[in-house]
């Protein structure tokens, strides 16, 4: 099962998890130093719901933002 919304196509996006050590300059230190950068994933908030379409009912993976916007009709 792909982590993709079947309505809008929203999928995972990537970013960084940055680890910093040290005391900030405004608190009297010599500044924050980046000591590690790790890649991470931001996953969409997918819900498996029953959707009414074409006079029938089917199950779809839909993101929460599509449900809030009313792009799907729950069965």
Residue pLDDT, tens place only, 54-74: 889 999 999 999 999 999 999
By the 8 A CB rule, do 16 and 34 touch? Answer: no
CB atoms under 10 Å from CB of 65, counted, come to: 14
The structure's pTM equals: 0.74
Q: What is the mean pLDDT of the chain?
A: 94
The phi and psi torsions of 60 (rounded to 5 degrees) equal -140, 150
């Amino acid at each position: 099962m792909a982590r993709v919304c079947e309505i809008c196509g929203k999928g995972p996006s990537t970013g960084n998890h940055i680890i910093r050590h040290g005391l900030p300059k405004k608190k009297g230190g010599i500044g924050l130093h980046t000591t590690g950068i790790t890649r991470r994933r931001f996953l969409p908030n997918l819900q498996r719901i029953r959707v009414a379409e074409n006079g029938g009912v089917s199950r779809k993976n839909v993101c929460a933002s599509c449900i809030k916007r009313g792009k799907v009709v729950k069965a």
